[in-house]
Structures are given as structure tokens and as C-alpha cells.
Amino acid sequence: MFFLRRILFHVGVLGLALTPVLAQATTIARLPVTSMTQLASDVVHGTVSRVESRWTADRSQVLTYVTLSGVERLKGEGPAEVTFIQWGGRIGDEEFAVLGSATFREGEEVVVFLDVMESRAEYGVPSAPWILGLSQGKWDVVTDAATGERIAVNAAARTGRVMGAVSPDAPDRIPLAELVRRVRAAAPENLMQLGGN
């Protein structure tokens, strides 16, 4: 698990450190919801209330800080507001993009998979929750116009940069209630409770 987390971390680092041509090769390995849950330190459902891009302290890279409000925690503990980070962003007229990353806008409802990573001073990386697995770590919550059902749509499906077939374990779309059920069932604290019964 530690090894895979470091791979996902370095995908983000290399996406900014390499030339734009190489960065275009970014792809994401499709992972089941269960695996993403087990890799994540936190999984949260909420509404985007703020999106802000900033330079790192050494001005070598741009990071985007996304704040969710009204948070429902599906895995992990903490306050009803959470701020997490992802690589890239826009400052003024300059855009620093990592292909395969998610985009966020104020007011949208999302479920995100997060992981806390150690500070990496050589990259100007703060220790904070980061989105896990680029855009695969974001699910957009929408309402099906025909049925009124609330649906979670994986953001990676729109990037065209996901390797691996869609499957029942790794869907592009899923009812929100079913995504919540799967995450809660896969969270280690819930697995331990089940094992103790």
C-alpha cells in the first residue's frame, strides 16, 4: 500500500517537473472503489466553497487548494470543512496543468478521496490532505434528469486518460447511495467492526 501511494505521489510530481510534451503522457490506472478507499486516509462528501491557486514558497510550482463545506465523512474523522491540495492551477493569465487532474468549481457537490502525505521540501510540497489518484479521486454528484436519482460520476471518465476496463467494481457512474455504501463497507474501521461480530 505504501509503495502504491508513493507512485501516485510521484505521478503528480513528474506531471509538473517534466516538459509539457512528456506531461501529456499522464495516464491513470483504474482502481476499484474498494482499493481507492483503502488507500485513502479520508473520503469526504461535500460542496466546494473555495478554490484558490498559489505558488509554492520557492515559486517553482503552483498548487490548488480546494475547500469543501458541509462535509459528510465517509472515512476518517475531522471538522465539517476540509481543505485539500492538488497539483497545478491558474494564477492570473498563467495556467499550470497536470493532464489527468480533476477540476473543481465553487458550488459543485463532490465526493473526494484524500491522502495525507509527508512534506517534501525538495519539491516545496506541504504536508496536508491531497487528492488521491488525480481525477480518479473525484466523483461529481449530479441528479439524473429522468429519474431524479442522485448519481456519482467519476471525473477520470471525462479525461480519456484511464487505463483499464470499466467494471462493476470500478464503474464510471454509480448511484451516490451505492458509492457511499461501498466506501463505508471498505473503510478499515468498519471492516474491523464486522470482523468482531
Collapsed DSSP state (helix, strand, coil) of residue 17: helix
- The residue that leads in pLDDT, 59 or 54, is 54
Structural domain count of the chain:
1
pLDDT band, very low/low/confident/very high, at 160 (cuts 50, 70, 90): low
| Residue-number span of the structural domain to which 47 is assigned | 2-188
For the CA atoms of the chain, what is the radius of gyration?
Answer: 16
pLDDT digits (tens, 9 = 90+) for 8-33: 443 444 343 333 333 445 666 788 99
Asked if residue 90 is part of any domain, the answer here is yes
Asked if residue 113 is part of any domain, the answer here is yes
Q: What pLDDT sits at residue 193?
A: 44
Asked if residue 194 is part of any domain, the answer here is no
Q: What percent of the chain has pLDDT over 90?
A: 50
Per-residue cell: 164: 483499464
Average pLDDT, the chain: 80
- The residue that leads in pLDDT, 35 or 99, is 35
CA 79 to each of CA 44, 59, 71, 73, 189: distance values in angstroms, whole numbers, following the listed order: 11, 30, 8, 9, 18
Q: How far apart, in whole angstroms, are the C-alpha atoms of residue 108 and residue 99?
A: 21
Q: What pLDDT sits at residue 161?
A: 62
Q: How far apart, in whole angstroms, are the C-alpha atoms of residue 119 and residue 82?
A: 18
Asked if residue 197 is part of any domain, the answer here is no
Q: What pLDDT sits at residue 122?
A: 62
Asked if residue 148 is part of any domain, the answer here is yes
Largest CA distance in the chain: 57
Asked if residue 193 is part of any domain, the answer here is no
pLDDT digits (tens, 9 = 90+) for 87-144: 899 998 888 888 888 999 999 999 999 998 766 656 666 778 999 988 999 999 999 9
pLDDT band, very low/low/confident/very high, at 42 (cuts 50, 70, 90): very high
- Phi then psi for residue 70, to 5 deg, are 60, 40
Q: How far apart, in whole angstroms, are the C-alpha atoms of residue 20 and residue 53?
A: 19
Q: How far apart, in whole angstroms, are the C-alpha atoms of residue 106 and residue 189?
A: 32
